[in-house]
Structure 1
Amino acid sequence: MRLSSAARAVLFALALLTGSSAALADEGAVTLVIFKGGWIFGGSAGKGVLTFHGQTYGLTAGGLDYGLVFGGSQTTLQGRVRNIRRAQDIAGVYAAAGMGVALGAGVRGILLTNQNGAVLELSGKQVGLMANVDLSGLAITLKE
């Protein structure tokens, strides 16, 4: 899935906000599998991997949703994390407001940033019955 020009503009703006230190930052490959379910309040949990400088690191992910949340789904996301200097920079809380509907299989794409300035650019497939217009957060931790 290619990024739209709007998504590219957002990434460019985020790179400008991080200043000249972004030139020293690097990127890595990320895969996440997230299970999500709820009724008004929802939750998500999952796991994944980060590949950075030839090393593979385990990841755990989880979060809470609030708003119009109904159903359950499994989402498999792949992409990259940018603007990191070390693997630990991927760890943190990523927040998003969004909406979506998945009945059966659907395509999902997200662009998020955390408090360390790491930028997640992921896309993938969502399977299940899920309807949401919500505020959601995703916390990613690095397994050690």
Structure 2
Amino acid sequence: MQIPISLRGALIVLVALFGVGLHSAKADTGSITLTIYKGGWIIGGSAGGGTLFFRGRSYRLGVGGIDYGLVFGGSKTVLHGRVSNIQRASDVAGVYAAAGAGLALGRGVRAIVLTNQNGAILELSGQQIGLMANADLSGLAITMR
């Protein structure tokens, strides 16, 4: 018995969608807090740490990165937010890339949405303190401690 090509294609699509649905059904959310110290002149760097709260447990995080473009000054940024589309805590670890611009003179507000290679989505907002002007490309790496 042969299955018509159109029916076979429809079955393949249905199985693929079902698999994606199962994958998404297992994805979960958590909350995250990051403290990032940033400084530089043309080339900048950032370092810091944070905590991921996921499924009733807390996990310590390390943060580091590099910026290239117009970077001048130094700042401390404390971000709080939500991490989504993760199945396990280690999905947060990875490299996040962003292009952005900002100016902080004293105290400022910061908000950003980032995604890593594992599909983790960070939605963060918080305060930036210091003197910092930037229009740059930046990379941020988060590691589990």
The TM tier, using the shorter chain, reads: 0.7 to 0.9
- Out of 72, 75, 78, which is 1:76 matched to? 78
Alpha-carbon distance, 1:92 to partner: 0.1
The question of 1:62 aligning with 2:49 is answered no
Cross-structure match for 2:28: 26
Return the offset for 1:24: 1.8
Identity %: 69
Q: Is 1:131 aligned to residue 133 of structure 2?
A: yes
**Counterpart for residue 40 of structure 1:** 42
The answer for unaligned runs of 5 or more in structure 2 is 1-19
SS of residue in 2 equivalent to 1:107: strand
Amino acid at match of 2:73: G
User: Which AA in structure 2 matches 1:42?
Assistant: G
Query: How far apart in 1 are the matches of 2:77 and 2:25?
Result: 32
Q: How far is 1:23 from its partner?
A: 2.6
Q: How many residues align?
A: 125
Cα distance in 1, alignment partners of residues 24 and 142 from structure 2: 21
Please give the alpha-carbon distance, in whole angstroms, between the structure 2 residues aligned to 1:29 and 1:82.
9
Structure ID, larger Rg = 2
In 2: Cα distance, 1:22 partner to 1:142 partner = 23
Deviation per residue, 1:77-135 (Å, 9 max, x gap): 00011000000000000000000000000000010000000000000000000000000
Provide the rounded CA distance (Å) in 1 between the counterparts of 2:82 and 2:90: 15
Q: Letter of the 1:57 partner, please give it.
A: Y
Aligned mates of 2:110, 2:139 — CA distance in 1: 16
Residue 22 (structure 1) shift: 2.2
Q: What amino acid sits opposite 1:107 in the alignment?
A: V
TM-score, length-normalised on structure 2? Answer: 0.85
Cα offsets for 1:29-88 (capped at 9, x unmatched):
100000000000000000000000000000000000000000000000000110000000
User: TM-score scaled by structure 1?
Assistant: 0.85
